Amino acid sequence: MPNPTFRILTPPICPSLTCEKVKRETKEVEEGETEGGEFQFTDAYAALQLAIDAVVKIFTVSSSPNYVLPWQNKSQIETMGSGFVIPGRRILTNAHVVADHTFVRVRKHGSPAKYRAEVQAVGHECDLAVLVVESEEFWEGMHFLLLGDIPFLQQAVAVVGYPHGGESISVTKGVVSRVEPIKYAHGDTQLMAIQIDAAINPGNSGGPAIMDDKVAGVAFQNLSGAENIGYIIPVPVIKHFLSDVDESGEYVGFCSLGLSYQAAENAQLREHFHMRPEMTGVLVSKINPISDAHRVLKKDDIMLAFDGVPIANDGTVPFRNRERITFEHLVSMKKANETSKIRVLRDGQELELSVVVHPLNALVPVHQYDKLPSYYIFAGLVFVPLTQPYLHEFGEDWYNTSPRHLCDLSFRRMPKKVGEQLVILSQVLMDEINVGYERLEDLQVKKVNGVEINNLKHLCQLVEDCKEESLRLDLDKERVVALNYNKAKLATSHILKRHRIPSATSTDLLDSEVIKEEEEAAEA
């Protein structure tokens, strides 16, 4: 079941003050040593002076896909967020600030002008994005901020940005109250985050959280229903994202072993699996078939250690000053295609195994930002891959209002092979050719003329290459669709024309040659 707890928030050094000078002057002000002694500033003042020529306001025009009518987009909207300059003339912000963007502009502090920005890279799982601005005028007087370390508990941070409620830059001071993996609301991914007691409001998203003279994280979400509980993305996650972009030119992703496990805190459970008193670990319950772990691990293995770090019976590993964190954090920080060592207990024997970790795609994608939906229309039957964004079209309470069997598929099924999709018949565009099938909607398509389908492109190929007089589709719930192939193919064109649909097929399903021919025809 989706976790509704967390909410995303959309809506260089000052030339006259060096870092040391800011800290010195701030200390003097706090101690009442400045001339006149009338003002009582805090270290939030130093953070503001440090960030004032590095933090920008971002204006995004976006248009989300319509998953009910996948050949068109929804109305465009404008949202605002924050960002800050990092080395290399780049601006770091949140992915949700620029998701599904069509036009992005940025404005620096003290300037009325907005400058066109391009999205260089975006990582929706970690909710981070990098923007670039071509205008030389924009970069005049701008300075970059450096990344620091993970703050310790109770260390003070200052969040700088442009929250709703005003146009000017804002700074909010808070302290670190917790460091642990949480669910990132935008990408639905479990990654490390820092909880602070500073208010992070819509518009703050993408702004830096500053500790001393460096960035401790990026503001990105708050805890719905709670006061003054915000979250920032920590530096290790930011560096992992940036290293992907620097090394490959694009976001690669965070690694996973692709397994589910059970805590081994029960003494009888440990005894059943022959764990000696000094042993600790977790019980492997399920393994993703497309992961490398599926090659070497087995159900009922006890994972004792990952890369030499012992795993406790609750699944945690040591972290900093007497803190603990789930061992998945160690996995997520690995580079794609890196080899890791896993020590397991299998049938009472200890084994040292090598596993290659890499990012894994879910069978039913959690998000589909910045890309158009796939679809295929034949005889008025609209076929789409099952995605969670499709289920979101059933409303805010989509988990309870969308078809229950599709929700179950979304959360419980694992892919059997790379490239697999669950294809559904989403709706029927009424026509004489499909009379009687109009109530067949939101059903999984399993076979085309007796051949099991792998994905939407496979279904499209099977239908288009059909040589038989009759086309048969086997659906979920034992439903069957049978059509005269030639009549159905002929009917498709006038159904598309009637509904003003430009193409029966989304561009991602077409061969590059076909796309080129269609573009040339459109230009002519």
Instruction: List, for residues 266-317, the tens digit of each pLDDT value.
Output: 999 999 999 999 999 999 999 999 999 999 999 999 999 999 999 999 999 9
Contacts of 68 (CB under 8 A, 6+ apart): 393, 426, 427
Specify the DSSP class assigned to residue 164. T
Residues in the chain, total: 524
Measure the N-to-C terminal CA separation of the chain; round to a whole number of Å.
Answer: 50
CATH second-level architecture of 376-523? Alpha-Beta Barrel (3.20)
Q: Is the dihedral of CA 71, 77, 82, 83 positive or negative?
A: positive
Model confidence over 174-221: pLDDT tens digits?
Answer: 899 999 999 999 988 999 999 998 777 888 899 999 998 899 999 998
Answer whether 491's CB lies under 8 Å from 380's CB.
Answer: yes
Total-model pTM: 0.84
pLDDT bucket at 1, cuts 50 / 70 / 90: very low
Domain residue spans in the chain?
46-138, 155-248, 259-328+335-357, 376-523
Considering the chain, what percentage of its residues have pLDDT values greater than 70?
A: 89
Q: What pLDDT, on a 0 to 100 scale, did the predictor assign at position 259? A: 92
**CA pseudo-torsion sign 65, 367, 392, 98:** negative
CB 484 within 8 A of CB 470: yes
Residue type, 385: P
- CA angle (26, 215, 48) in 5-degree steps: 35
The token duo for 303 is 């994972």
pLDDT at 166 (0 to 100): 80
Work out the number of other CB atoms within 10 angstroms of the CB of residue 381: 26
Q: How far is 296 from 162, CA to CA, in rounded Å?
A: 49
Q: What is the pLDDT of residue 9?
A: 60
- Give me the mean pLDDT over the 416-423 stretch: 92
Which class in CATH covers the domain with range 46-138?
mainly beta
Q: Does residue 15 carry a pLDDT above 70?
A: no
Q: Diameter of the chain by CA atoms?
A: 94
What is the torsional sign of CA 238, 240, 245, 247? positive
Domains 259-328+335-357 and 376-523 share a fold: no
Q: How many helices (H) and strands (E) does the chain have?
A: 14, 28
Residue 17 pLDDT greater than 50, yes or no:
no
Fold topology of 259-328+335-357: Pdz3 Domain (2.30.42)
- Binned at pLDDT 50, 70 and 90, residue 6 comes out as low
Which residues does the annotation mark as catalytic? 96, 127, 205
What's the CATH number for 155-248? 2.40.10.10
Look at residues 264, 263, 274, 268 and name the one whose alpha carbon lies nearest to residue 349.
274
Confidence of residue 110 (pLDDT cuts 50, 70, 90): confident
Range 51-69 average pLDDT: 93
Query: Rounded mean pLDDT of the chain?
Result: 87
pLDDT of residue 24: 46
Span 368-404, pLDDT tens digits = 899 999 999 999 999 999 999 999 999 989 988 999 9
